[in-house]
């Protein structure tokens, strides 16, 4: 459109060129207004999406509050404490039995066997050129 305005001005058609210039300015203003409105609509859309997300979060939190309230009503702290005490008692019994079994196996072990194993290991170390010092 700018080229046409230049041609009209060169052809001495000033009145028509001025009218086209006004149309061009109006067209640019309308485009700018359209872009501004488009940006404002996008901003409003983002705000509405944000509000919807906030609403969803509020709904989820209300649901979780209801669940937590129900759990707290159903929870018996003294019963849980008693169960944990019983569990600890049984674990201690199990540990003691494990120690007793380990001690029994230790008593069955031949003391000479430990020395033989030590000699065998030292022999292997000697073959590969290493030395093992206890301590």
Average pLDDT, the chain: 86
Instruction: State yes or no: pLDDT of 135 exceeds 60.
Output: no
Secondary structure (DSSP) of 3-31: HHHHHHHHTT-HHHHHHHHHHHHHHHHHH
Q: Which of 36-40, 68-72, 82-86, 113-117 comes out lowest in average pLDDT?
A: 113-117
Can you give the pTM of this predicted structure?
0.41
Q: State residue 134's pLDDT score.
A: 59
Q: Summarize pLDDT for 48-107 with one digit per residue, the tens.
A: 999 999 999 999 888 888 888 888 888 888 888 999 999 999 999 999 998 998 888 777
Nearest to 131 by CA among 93, 96, 123: 123
Tokens 């207004």 locate to: 33
């Amino acid at each position: 459109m700018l080229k046409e305005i230049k041609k009209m001005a060169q052809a001495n058609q000033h009145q028509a060129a001025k009218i086209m210039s006004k149309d061009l300015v109006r067209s640019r203003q309308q485009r700018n207004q359209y872009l501004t409105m488009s940006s404002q609509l996008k901003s409003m859309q983002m705000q509405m999406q944000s509000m919807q997300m906030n609403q969803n979060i509020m709904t989820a939190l209300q649901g979780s509050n209801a669940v937590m309230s129900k759990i707290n009503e159903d929870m018996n702290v003294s019963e849980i404490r008693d169960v944990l005490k019983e569990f600890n008692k049984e674990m201690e019994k199990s540990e003691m039995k494990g120690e007793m079994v380990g001690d029994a196996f230790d008593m069955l072990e031949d003391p000479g066997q430990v020395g033989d194993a030590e000699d065998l290991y030292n022999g292997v170390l000697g073959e590969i050129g290493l030395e093992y010092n206890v301590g």
